[in-house]
Amino acid sequence: MPDLVTHGFAAWLLVRPQRWRRVRLLFFLGTFLPDIISRPIYILFPHWQGYTVAMHTPLFALLCGLLAAEFMTPDLRRCARLAISAGILLHFGLDLMQSHLGDGYYWFFPFSWRSYELGWFWPEATVVWVPLWLAIITTAEAVLAWRGRHSAA
């Protein structure tokens, strides 16, 4: 996986426009969800990997995302399902670009055990870009906040 900051930066780029304000947090939830539900289990119980590998698959993440959307108020559920699912798709879109020494991710689990990835970068390669992503986000948000304050006055 690219690191969570890189996932968050990609999500921020997509949902930063004001028209996405209503679903922004749900989209972020979807973007982080595949790693939130799988990584703690992988880290705490590495010897269970044969059993837990399915937790970082599109089907499992989408099911968890749809379950999470059910906790929203009825008027928000449809929107939440779409936003969370879109965030999950963005997450796996970035993961697809990676390279692994062994098998990559099982995109079509439980229908297939074939793994596939584009191999454009190693999972740790994005970490060196984290300071740049954070600088861009904080600078852009500061500029936008400053503009908002000065245009309202």
Binding site for Zn ion (CB under 5 A): 1, 34-35, 95
Rg (CA), the chain: 17
Which C-beta is closer to Zn ion: that of 120 or that of 146? Answer: 120
Min dist. Cβ of residue 71 to Zn ion (A): 23
Using CA atoms, how far apart are residues 146 and 24, in angstroms rounded to an integer? 21
What CA–CA distances, in Å, run from 97 to 54, 57, 103, 108, 120? Answer: 19, 15, 14, 16, 5
Min dist. Cβ of residue 88 to Zn ion (A): 10
Using CA atoms, how far apart are residues 93 and 117, in angstroms rounded to an integer? 10
Using CA atoms, how far apart are residues 135 and 54, in angstroms rounded to an integer? 35
Min dist. Cβ of residue 108 to Zn ion (A): 16
Which C-beta is closer to Zn ion: that of 8 or that of 95? Answer: 95
